[in-house]
Structure 1
Amino acid sequence: MGYIVLGFGLVLVIEGLVFALAPSRLDDLVAAMAALTKDQRRTIGLIAVALGVGLVWLARGFGI
């Protein structure tokens, strides 16, 4: 359970930094994402999930 809370906390930190440091770039990113098709967004999401699982697997394997 502690790892889940840690993960959510890290996501909030990173997302908060994006909102705080580059809000206008976030508008550009949302516009670019809206221009993608649903299949392209789904593919990007699946790639992000796979990378996240890989990073967690590596971190757990190295005892980080």
Structure 2
Amino acid sequence: MNDFLAAMGLVLVVEGLVYGGFPTLAKKLATEVLSMSENTLRGAGLVAIAAGVAIVWMVRG
């Protein structure tokens, strides 16, 4: 459970860096996401999940 909370904290740090450090970029990315198809977003999400699992597996394995 501690690892999960640490991972969630790191996600919040990265999100905060984008929104706090580069708000114009965050707005641009948000508008680009709205114009993308659902299949493209789904594919990107699945790739991100696979990359995250691979990273955790390599680090913790």
Question: What is the TM-score with the length of structure 1 in the denominator?
Answer: 0.91
The structural deviation recorded for 1:56 is: 0.4
> Matched residues in 1 for 2:55 and 2:41: separation?
21
The structural deviation recorded for 1:32 is: 0.8
**Is 1:26 the equivalent of 2:29?**
no
Where does structure 2 lack aligned partners over 5 or more consecutive residues? none
Where does structure 1 lack aligned partners over 5 or more consecutive residues? none
Question: 2:5 is aligned with what amino acid?
Answer: V
> Matched residues in 1 for 2:16 and 2:27: separation?
15
* Counterparts of residues 37-52 of structure 1 (less than 5 Å): 37-52=37-52
Alpha-carbon displacement from aligned partner over 1:2-54 (angstroms, at most 9, x marks no partner): 00000001001111111110001001001111111000000000000000000
> Matched residues in 2 for 1:16 and 1:30: separation?
15
Runs of 4+ in 1 over 4 A off after TM superposition: none
